[in-house]
Structure 1
């Protein structure tokens, strides 16, 4: 599949390395902005009083998306959605904010960083991942969203640097984040009743996914650790055996 050329305006204004430097600068500024404002305070129960009622939901989704660009943990945002808007509306807004945040990260990564980082995909492992995301985009992105433990930002920019189509990426994201998002939204909505079945079920699901992620990382690390070579036993009648008999 031929690679999509970058926009002419971007190619004319900045070379690839300069665009990559701009991407790093923007992401660093977004992360450092948390020193000046606190998303947790804005996402507290007082948030709905700061915004007119008809715009509270859309404003929350936009703030959710911008917070993901600033690397605010998504479980915190999902729980805030449930606490502020309940299970049904909170889940819809959390999925919308997640998808919007993924779209913004994908656009930044594809427009500013892809050209400079494409040479890195020549390595065997990264080239295999690139081919998988390019030719099996929906399935690959869906698995990245469903499997617990995969960092949200890493999946966004990894897909942006590959050849996956934007619509495929966004569709798989919107579908794949629903199970994990629902667990935290339900936990946030029922946090006032920690003994309720909804809270206990969501908490159990969160703990189970955390344990699954830990075991998966441990197994992956164990597989990647090289094992010491075992000595090969000498066969009867081999040169080594004959040498031992002759020396005896």
Structure 2
């Protein structure tokens, strides 16, 4: 009798388990939610290469605007007569910064600052525009280009430049600003791709740009008297650092190649 009960219990247990499995199989399982179209589009837009494409499009548009509006006409046509005093200096500094982002050469803008505002106010205005333009370019490069470009730093020269800027940011940028030779926009975007901090970059830009900017501003202010001592000293101040920068770059080429 006991054996019969045990046998009936053992037989019922598998039947109950099979019944539960059948009930569970009959219940529909909801499918896993798929990523929506908006989420996929957001990931695509925020991807490193999409941001790099946006940066290139912005720079191309800025360069096209420069070619269209020709800011160099300030040297020949002068500043709009309705602007004067501090307002003109502020507007010029903002325009200066935007023009440097759009690859307008700084010497041209520095000459215009000196010709329009004189030596002292022209120097202050040009320096403000220099720091503003450098900060905008650095921010754009850091936000839109760094993630896509850093994996491409495989060449020996590129790695050497990246290591120098990342480890010795202030010193490297100060030298780049003091000795002309590296284009202003190139230094901005190279620093943005590196791991240099904001404060060393902006501080080195402000300090290192003073001598060269002052020389061009004085030359622009004294352009009507090219034989004056101030104009001649300004031109010498422009030429000597350029020559020194060329000599330093020539001597450092072997050091960079050896890395």
TM-score grouping bracket, smaller chain normalisation: 0.7 to 0.9
**Pick from 53, 63, 69: which aligns with 1:37?**
69
Query: What is the TM-score with the length of structure 2 in the denominator?
Result: 0.76
Displacement of 1:38: 1.3
Superposed counterparts of 1:78-97, under 5 Å = 78-97=110-129
**Pick from 80, 95, 102: which aligns with 1:63?**
95
Check 1:11–1:176 CA distance in 2 against 1; reply closer, same or farther (3 A cut): farther
* 1:140-199 residue CA offsets vs partner (Å, 9 max, x unmatched): 111111122111001000000000111211011000111111111110011111111100
- Aligned pair count? 217
Give yes or no for contact 1:184–1:202 (8 Å, CA) kept in 2: yes
Check 1:59–1:44 CA distance in 2 against 1; reply closer, same or farther (3 A cut): farther
Q: Distance in 2 between matches of 1:36 and 1:187?
A: 27
Q: Which residue of 1 aligns with 2:160?
A: 128
Q: Which runs of 5+ in 2 are unaligned?
A: 1-41
Displacement of 1:132: 2.4
Q: Which residue of 2 aligns with 1:187?
A: 219
Q: Which moved more, 1:62-71 or 1:129-138?
A: 129-138
Greater Rg by CA: 2
Displacement of 1:206: 2.1
Check 1:167–1:199 CA distance in 2 against 1; reply closer, same or farther (3 A cut): same
Give yes or no for contact 2:100–2:106 (8 Å, CA) kept in 1: yes
Q: Does 1:106 align with 2:138?
A: yes
Q: Distance in 2 between matches of 1:115 and 1:197?
A: 50
Question: Which secondary structure state, in structure 1, belongs to the residue aligned with residue 153 of structure 2?
Answer: helix
Check 1:11–1:179 CA distance in 2 against 1; reply closer, same or farther (3 A cut): farther
CA RMSD of aligned residues (A): 2.4
Q: Distance in 2 between matches of 1:153 and 1:162?
A: 14
Give yes or no for contact 1:45–1:84 (8 Å, CA) kept in 2: no
